[in-house]
Structure formats: C-alpha cells, structure tokens
Amino acid sequence: MDELFAPPAYDWQRLSPAYRSLRRLTSVLTAPILLSIPAVIVGVLTGNWWISTLLWAIAAAIVITRWFVVDRNWRSWGYVERDDDLYITHGVLFRSLVAVPYGRMQLVEVGSGPLERAFGLATVSLKTASPETNATIPGLRPEEAARLRDRLTELGESQASGL
Amino acid sequence: MSQPPVQHSTATEPTPPRTAKPVKQTERPHPLTPFIRGWIVLLAILIGAARELVPDGSSEDNISVSDLSWILPLAAFAVVLAGIAGFISWRFTRFVIDDEELRVETGAVFKSSKKVPFERLQSVDIIQPLAARLFGLAELRLEAGAGDSTIKLRYLRQTKAASLREYLLTRAHGEQARVADHGDVRASVFTDLTAADRPLVQVRPDRLIVSFLLSTEWLVSSVLALVLLATTVYFDLAALALTALIPLVISAVSMISRRLIAMFNFTLAESPRGLRVTRGLTNLTSQSVPIDRIQGVKISQPLPWRPFGWYRVDVDIVGYAHSDSENNESTATSVLLPVADVDQVELAVGRVLPGFDLDGIGLNRVPSRARWIRWFDFWTLRYGWNDRAITTEEGWLSHERNIVPHAKTQSVRIEQGPLQRRLRLADVHIDTPKGPVRAVAHQLDVRVARELALTQLDRARAARRADRERIPVSQARVRTDEETELLATFGTSRDQLLGSGGESEVFAIDEQRVLRLYRRPYDPSDQTGEQIRRLLDSWEDTNIGLDVPKIVQVGEHAGRCYTVDRRFSGRCLSPWLAQAQTGDRRQALSSYLDATLRLRDLPSPIPGFARLIGPQAPQQFSSLGELLNNMLDGPVRISRAQLERDLPNVAHTWSRLHADLADRVVSPALVHGDVCPANTYIDSRSGRWVVSGIGDFSPHTVSGDPTMDIAGAVIFLELEPYPDPAADAVWLEALAVQQGGNDVRHWIEVYRRFYGFYFSDSFRFDPVLYAWCLRQLRR
C-alpha cells in the first residue's frame, strides 16, 4: 500500500477473513466445475483422455493462482469513516480510492446473498446522485454492516444538502 | 377559466380539508386534440411508407400499385384507430390548475388522479409538434421531482399554455400568484418567446448550418460515404454499394433532424423565472433551465470549429438524464448552446454559474511522462480550480472543458492502472450525476493527484456548507398564521396582493390605501420606516405635479414591520412596458424622463449634501464626493473580493470614478436614488400615457447630484424584462442629452460606474443585477 492510496491519518478497516474464504471457495469450485464438463464430454465421446487431463491441469493452475490472487485482493480492500466522508479503497492491478461525503449519500443498502449468509457476511453499498460513484464494501460481518448502515444513514441525514 | 370558489383563509394550505370539497370546474384539453394525434400517426405512416418505397437494392424494388391497394386501407384504419384512441384519452383527461392546486385526471378504464404540490414542480416545458402548431395548439409538459413521471397535457391553446406556464413557474418558486394574474401571454409563433423574455443568445441559421457541416460527426460519415461510393464505382459494384448506403443515409437524416431541425432558431433567453431555451424548425420546443439544478457545464470544440472560434455548451441537469438519446426533437435537452462564439459562451456560463470567471482559473499541465499512456492527446490535458469550481480539459480532435461547481461534487475517486503505477501517475475523477459532463483530471503525478482529491473534498464541503446557510434565507419566507391575522385586521388577504419585490409585499386595502408588509424581521432600533414617513410628511404641501407616496401608519405585528401607504392611481410602469407598442412606450418613457427631472423640486429637509435615511442619518457631508464615497463604502466592502476576481482592473475603474467625481460641481438637490419602471406609476390622460407618480423612496434617497436620477432612469431601464430594453435606454439617453446638453452624456457614463459599484453587493442574491453591475464597470 503506497502513499497514494493511504487513508489520511487513519488506519484502514479491513474485511472479515471469512470473505477471503468465500472468494477462495467460489474460485475453487467454479474453474474445476466449468472445465470438467467439456473434459468429461471430450473424454467419453472421443476417448482422447489426454485432452481432458490437460483441461484439468489448467483448472488446477487456475485454482492455485486464484488462491493467492484472492488473498492479495482481499488484503487490498479497506474502508475508513472520517468525520465528513467515507473512504473506500480496493484493487490490485487497477486500484481505486473513492471518497464519498456523507452529505451526498442518498441511499445506504445492505445486501446478503445465500452464499454470503452461509459465511456470515453482508455487503454495504452507498448510492449518490452520480452513477459513477462506485462505493461498495463487500465481506462485512452482519453486525458491522448494520452498524455501518445506521451510522452512515445518521451522518447522511445530519449533513445532507440539496443537489 | 371560470373563477373557482376561493376559500379565503385556506388558500395557502397545501391540502384543503377533505370534508368541504368544493365542486370545481375541471377542464379538458382542446377539442382538436384527437385530430392532431391522428394526423401525427398519419405523418409517421407516410414517412415509414416513403422509407419502404426508396429502392434499397434488394430484389423486390418496386411496390406495385396492387400492393398500395391494401396498404392504403390499412393506413387509413390505423389513422382512424389513433384518432379514436386520441378521442378517448381526450374525453377522459381533465385537469385543474387554479389558485389552490394542480391536478390531472386521466384514464377511461383505469382512472388516475395526480395531484402535484406546486413546490415540487421542477420544470414546465412547452412542446409544439408541427401539426399542433398549425392549429395554434401546444403541449404542456410538467416534470415533478426526480423519478416521477412526466405529466403531459396535450393539447392546449398556445396562449393558454404560455400563461399556465408562467403561473406554474411562479408558484413553483414558492411565490403566491393567481391564475387570473397571468392573462393570455402572447408569444411569437416562431420562437415562443413572450414579451417578458429577454433573448441572451440567438443562434443564426447560417452559423448553425456551417457548424453542422463542420462537425466531426458529419464529416466522418460523409467522408465514409464518399470513400465507399468511390471504391465501389471504381470496381463497378455501385449496385451493391446502394445497400450499404441506405443505413448511412438514414443516419444522416436523423443527424440532420437532431442537430439542425431540432436546433433551428435556437434561442437562449432570460425570463423572469430563470433561463429558457426555445428551438426547433418544425417542432417547436420551449424549455426552462433550472439554474440551481445545474450540476456541471461542458464546453466542447471539434477541431474543424477552431478557426471560427466556435464552441458548444452542454449542462448536466438532475432529472434530465435522457442525454443518451442525444436530445431528440421533443425531449428535454442538455444543450445550452449548440454553437456559439466566445462572448456568447461567457454570457451563458455567467448566467449558469453566476460570478464565475471562465478565464480566471489557472490551468496546470500534466507531467510529460503522461505521453507514454496518452500519446494521442497528452499535451491537451489540463486541470485547475478556483474557489467556485473545478475544471478539467482534454482532447484534441474534440477539445472538451468540463466545469463542476464544488458544491455539486458527488464523490471523488483516484484511479490507477498498472502502467500508470509504473509511471507514478493517477487519474482523479470528480463524479457528477448522469449527463454529458465528465470531469476527470487525467495522468497527474501521484502526489498531485492525492492532494487534488483530498483538497477537492475540503472545497466541496466548504461550498456545501455555504449553500446550506443560504437555504434558511428562502425558508424564512414561510407564511404564518400571524400574517393571515394581520392581513385580516386590515380587511385584506393574500388574494389582494398587488405586487412583491425583494424588500416587501404590497396588498390592496381599498381604493385609497395599501398595506406594505416588509420581509425583514422587525427591529426596534431600525428607524428606516419612521425616517421615510417623516421625509414624505415634509412634502405634504409640495406639489410637483406628480404623486409621491404617503405613509399613513407604521407598525409592527408578530415580528414583522408594516406600513399603510396611500395607493397610487394608475398602474405600474414595468409590466405595462412589457406589453406596450413601441410608439406608446417611447411616449411614456419621455414622460418618465420629465417626471424624473421634476423630482429635484422636492425640498430636502437637510441643506447641503446628506444621507437622509439610514442608521446614521441624517448625516451631512461637505462635498458630493464624500457623500458618494460614504454610499459606496458599505456595498463595496462586501463585494470587494468578488469584484477583484471578476474584474482584473477594478482598481483602475475605482480610481477613475473618483477622479471623475472630483470634477463634479453641482448644487445639492433631492435624489430619489432608485428611479426605475418598477417604482413608477402611469396613467392614461386624454389618450396620452403620462407618468402619474413615483414611489419607493428608500435608503437610496439622498440629497446629492440630481443628474444621478437622470442616469438612473436611463440605465436601470436596461434591466427591464422586455425584449431589447437597451435600445429604449439608448433612445432615452439621447433624449436626456438633447434636453440637458452634451455634459449629461458624460455624467451618465460616470454614474453608470457609480451604480455598478453601489449595487455590486447583489452578487449574493441577484445574479442578473450583478451581471448588469459588471457590464457597467467593464465599459
């Protein structure tokens, strides 16, 4: 983390480790499943099992890479609540830092899909009048997500300003 | 519209009690509506058929006469169907727009009734498709709040639509008004500008056409077509090329309709309620531009326009986000100016972002290592800011300049890709609502990027805070029960409102008296009302052949200051001017000048140069220069920083004014200080329009140089909201010079600058007046 994306005078809040496990699980599952279908079909129909082996090898390589990439990506996430605005950073290759003034927030949403719920996670997203404001924090513990939502809503109300 | 039963006390309440629902006369749109809607469908069919009949290179080239025999009845059937649908929707559409509410009821089977609070109205536009225009009808389109659907009232008589628009816009601004106050507004058939609109910029057809032919979009597609044609002809494949040309021709036609026909006669005008855009050759669209909802400005210039110095100006308006459909003929547009030169751009941007100086922003370049990423335009990248807005520039084939006021910043982002990381560069995005404006400072050095982003958040916060502090000022005008009570004490009510200005509202009590209710809160130490009353009383026995006001009573009720004044005979000159013929107008203005000259005959209670009304009044001065300096002291102290930003050589103007004033030798006389048509009353006497009285003596009234009022009468006329008051002002100045000698011309010029400084504190509340001040000081 270099100084360009460092939070001003605060430390980043990081995501729950459960989020890393969730992302690892999905990547461990998706690549082998997606590649196994053609591998089995090719093997059964043509008998060229070496092609299938190649596909499975590719799947294994993807899983191993993803294992480390997910870790890097998980570590890249961070958010910090300042007095007047919320900072969110993420990204490894393409990095971004977004700062949303509380006074500009129009909507705070908490969402949690079935997989996320299984891992005890929730996602908080902020909406402003601009569609380009891309302020979403995934992988929060539900109680942290609820706290964040309440606090952001409260701050948003007290600092709200017209368009 | 027949006058609805007005409930006197509840007229200002948002929802009248359900139980006593008055029976109201609702209205239908114009009976010709179904015919016009059928006609529009017919037109669409004709165009579609014409497109089909165009040989498109495919095998069945010609539609034979036998084909037509079944197409025609089908088309006729569709037209009749559309007419019937139009009739049903017309039959079941009813609306009420009166002093109390705005309600529209629609639907034959599924009935819906929509009631919109006036304050929620965001914009009121008038749209006239060609067919409706031929019958003098128009569609009224109302936008209420972001996300709400548009209400369309079609079709109404054009004059009626225009007067309803004026009424609705007045109410939307939170002011009281009555439908009856907005009688038929006459608007020009070609531009839909009413008499009260003052055109700021008119795009001439020749310039529009040339700029269109030189636009990148047009050049690219026509070059493409030519290349295609040339190669196919060369290889003798012209028949094949026809198939490819059809889509090109269709896109060219749509381009012409969007960029030329829809933008024809484009006029940006200043109306009493903000800016207004009217445009269109066949379909006439008139749209109001809500200035406070503008989120950003984009000024762009395609390369071929550069030799001509032309620009295009777009704005982001919240809720008007249909910009992706690129401003069709009838939808709201984000185009502020389709093509304009530098002066016009400055004028328009000055209205949209008051007090913002386009060239006053110092622009910074980006490090030269940016060329490894933006090799195609790295030398055009710029960014900069001042205390009002942040601006970024980019592009070479089409140069774009995006301006976002700090207060409108939604969020700030820093983005960095892998290559940028290696080069230690980053982009800073200033996010704005959906629209054409995209403010991105590309390829900054990382340290600069971080500083820009963090300081931008601070600037945005400061600007928002300043905005919030301004809001309570407008909310302070909420009407209360106490006010209703006070009005009732004098036997009047909101219905009797005669006029309202920045300082006060005036209600009729009877034929002889009016009640003037001041907006500012009552302050016991403020002697202004009492001072004015004494001054007016001292003129009791003076007759200058002109009514001057007389205050019968000064009082205070529930924290508000009020006076009871004698009612003027005749009518106010300002609205009269807007609808008068040129001949009548000039004759009235000549009487207006005579009346102004007579004001100096009013005796001043204090000899010598003096301020007559105000906290320190009466206050005597030994010379005219000292008096004027004292008058300028207060306002200029407030506006000084702003003036220095807007006028680089303001110090020079200031010293020149003082040098000029030092030469003035004059004996003191009474000066009204604010002679303008809004304060003047006019009456018809034996067929001639004669000024009958001048009102509103105020803290501007002093004992000084009587030429100040002559200058005022001429120069304040320029602020009148009718077309081209400047021509009348020039004429009036010539008349004053003819009567008073060549010297008068010089002193009018000097007092122009004086009043330019004197009213310059208006930058805080009146952008139009402030822009006028800047014009005076730039002369």
Nearest to B618 by CA among B629, B631, B605: B605
Chain B residue with minimum CA distance to A1: B421
Chain A, chain B: beta-carbon pairs less than 8 Å apart = 95
Per-residue pLDDT at B110: 78
Mean pLDDT comparison of B8-12, B63-67, B460-464, highest-scoring range: B460-464
Q: Give mean pLDDT, residues A36-59.
A: 89
Residues of A in contact with B407 (CB under 8 A): 161
Bridge-partner residues for B497, per DSSP? B507
**Domain count across chain B:** 5
- Report the distance separating Cα A53 and Cα A42, nearest Å: 11
Residues of A in contact with B432 (CB under 8 A): 130, 132
pLDDT in tens, B607-621: 889 888 877 777 888
Query: Is residue B274 included in any domain, yes or no?
Result: no
For B413, which of A96, A104, A131 is closest by C-beta distance? A96
Which tokens in the block code for residue B597? 């000259």
Q: Are residues B722 and B674 in the same domain?
A: yes
User: Minimal Cα–Cα distance from B269 to chain A, Å?
Assistant: 24
Which residue in A5, A80, A90, A95 has the most chain B C-beta atoms within 10 A of its own C-beta, making it the best mutation to test that interface?
Answer: A95
pLDDT in tens, B497-517: 776 665 677 888 877 888 888
Per-residue pLDDT at B298: 93
Query: Is residue B281 included in any domain, yes or no?
Result: no
Using 50, 70 and 90 to split pLDDT, how confident is the model at B175? Answer: low
Residues of A in contact with B415 (CB under 8 A): 94-96
CATH number for the domain including B485? 3.30.200.20
Which residue in A93, A98, A136 has the most chain B C-beta atoms within 10 A of its own C-beta, making it the best mutation to test that interface?
Answer: A98
Query: Is residue B280 included in any domain, yes or no?
Result: no
Q: Are residues B409 and B483 in the same domain?
A: no
pLDDT at B740 over 80: yes
Residues of A in contact with B454 (CB under 8 A): 8, 99
Instruction: Please state, for a pLDDT cut of 70, what percent of chain B lies above it.
Output: 84
Contact B282, B261 (CB under 8 A): yes
CATH architecture of A78-159: Roll (2.30)
- Report the distance separating Cα B225 and Cα B242, nearest Å: 10
The reply to whether B454 touches chain A by the CB within 8 Å rule is yes
Q: Give mean pLDDT, residues B37-42.
A: 77
Strand B504-508's sheet: what is its strand order? Answer: B497-500, B504-508, B513-521, B560-566, B551-557
CATH number for the domain including B735? 3.90.1200.10
Q: Give mean pLDDT, residues B299-321.
A: 86
Q: Are residues B520 and B580 in the same domain?
A: no
Which tokens in the block code for residue A83? 């007095």
Q: Are residues B656 and B722 in the same domain?
A: yes
pLDDT at B644 over 50: yes
Secondary element (H or E) of residue B65: helix B65-91
CB contact under 8 A, A128 and B426: no
Domain end position, chosen among B142, B158, B193: B193
Nearest to A17 by CA among A93, A95, A77: A77
Average predicted confidence (pLDDT) for chain B: 80
Which tokens in the block code for residue B354? 């008051």
Q: Give mean pLDDT, residues B213-221.
A: 86
Residues of A in contact with B447 (CB under 8 A): 3-4
The reply to whether A94 touches chain B by the CB within 8 Å rule is yes
For A131, which of B408, B434, B449 is closest by C-beta distance? B434
pLDDT at B195 over 70: no
Chain B residue with minimum CA distance to A82: B457
Question: Which of B135-144, B240-249, B380-389, B528-537 has the least mean pLDDT?
Answer: B240-249
Query: Is residue B279 included in any domain, yes or no?
Result: no
Q: Are residues B414 and B530 in the same domain?
A: no
Per-residue pLDDT at A21: 92
Distances (CA, A) of B674 to B476, B576, B657, B671, B714: 26, 19, 20, 9, 11
The reply to whether B423 touches chain A by the CB within 8 Å rule is no
Query: Is residue B246 included in any domain, yes or no?
Result: yes
Residue B154: which domain range? 33-193
For B426, which of A4, A128, A131 is closest by C-beta distance? A4
Q: Are residues B385 and B422 in the same domain?
A: yes
Q: Are residues B251 and B369 in the same domain?
A: no
Using 50, 70 and 90 to split pLDDT, how confident is the model at B310? Answer: very high
Per-residue pLDDT at B401: 93
Query: Is residue B696 included in any domain, yes or no?
Result: yes
User: Minimal Cα–Cα distance from A79 to chain B, Å?
Assistant: 13
Contact B699, B613 (CB under 8 A): yes
Which tokens in the block code for residue B467? 């905005």
Residues of A in contact with B433 (CB under 8 A): 129-131, 163
Which residue in B315, B322, B410, B427 has the most chain A C-beta atoms within 10 A of its own C-beta, making it the best mutation to test that interface?
Answer: B410
Per-residue pLDDT at B11: 36
- Report the distance separating Cα B562 and Cα B560, nearest Å: 7
Domain end position, chosen among B567, B596, B613: B567
CB contact under 8 A, A3 and B434: no
Chain A residue with minimum CA distance to B292: A163
Query: Within 10 A of B609 (CB to CB), how many other CB atoms are there?
Result: 26
pLDDT in tens, B384-409: 988 888 999 999 888 999 999 998 89
pLDDT in tens, B437-446: 899 999 999 9
pLDDT at B119 over 80: no
pLDDT at B706 over 80: yes
Nearest to B455 by CA among B503, B414, B486, B416: B414
Domain end position, chosen among B441, B475, B509: B475
Query: Is residue B421 included in any domain, yes or no?
Result: yes
Question: Which of B46-50, B312-316, B569-573 has the least mean pLDDT?
Answer: B46-50
CB contact under 8 A, A94 and B418: yes
Per-residue pLDDT at B469: 62
The reply to whether B650 touches chain A by the CB within 8 Å rule is no
Query: Is residue B688 included in any domain, yes or no?
Result: yes
Note the ipTM here: 0.90
User: Minimal Cα–Cα distance from B450 to chain A, Å?
Assistant: 6
CB contact under 8 A, A97 and B414: yes
pLDDT at B698 over 90: no
Per-residue pLDDT at B687: 76
Residues of A in contact with B293 (CB under 8 A): 163
pLDDT at B330 over 50: no
Helices A17-46 and A49-76 cross at an angle (nearest 10°) of 170
| Top-confidence residue, B492 or A68 | A68
User: Minimal Cα–Cα distance from B339 to chain A, Å?
Assistant: 27
Per-residue pLDDT at B255: 83
Helix H, strand E, coil C: the string for A95-125 is: EEEEEEEHHHCCEEEEECCHHHHHCCCEEEE
Q: Are residues B732 and B588 in the same domain?
A: yes
CA B396 to chain centre: 33
Q: Are residues B45 and B61 in the same domain?
A: yes
Per-residue pLDDT at B290: 75
The reply to whether A155 touches chain B by the CB within 8 Å rule is no
Helix H, strand E, coil C: the string for B498-551 is: EEECCCEEEEECCCCEEEEEEEEECCCCCCHHHHHHHHHHCCCCCCCCCECCCE
User: Minimal Cα–Cα distance from A12 to chain B, Å?
Assistant: 16
Per-residue pLDDT at B340: 92
Average predicted confidence (pLDDT) for chain A: 87
Chain B residue with minimum CA distance to A106: B410
Q: Are residues B393 and B519 in the same domain?
A: no
User: Minimal Cα–Cα distance from B119 to chain A, Å?
Assistant: 15
Phi first, then psi: what are they for B198, rounded to 5°? -115, 115
CA A139 to chain centre: 6
Per-residue pLDDT at B426: 93
Per-residue pLDDT at B51: 62
Radius of gyration of chain A (CA): 20
User: Minimal Cα–Cα distance from A82 to chain B, Å?
Assistant: 12
Mean pLDDT comparison of A121-125, B154-158, B677-681, highest-scoring range: A121-125
Say which DSSP state B708 is in. Answer: H
pLDDT in tens, B524-539: 667 777 788 888 888 8
User: Minimal Cα–Cα distance from B633 to chain A, Å?
Assistant: 34
Using 50, 70 and 90 to split pLDDT, how confident is the model at A54? Answer: very high
For B410, which of A5, A97, A133 is closest by C-beta distance? A133
Which residue in A130, A134, A152 has the most chain B C-beta atoms within 10 A of its own C-beta, making it the best mutation to test that interface?
Answer: A130
Query: Within 10 A of B202 (CB to CB), how many other CB atoms are there?
Result: 16
Mean pLDDT comparison of B22-31, B364-373, B640-649, highest-scoring range: B364-373
Q: Give mean pLDDT, residues B239-250.
A: 74
CATH number for the domain including B362? 2.30.29
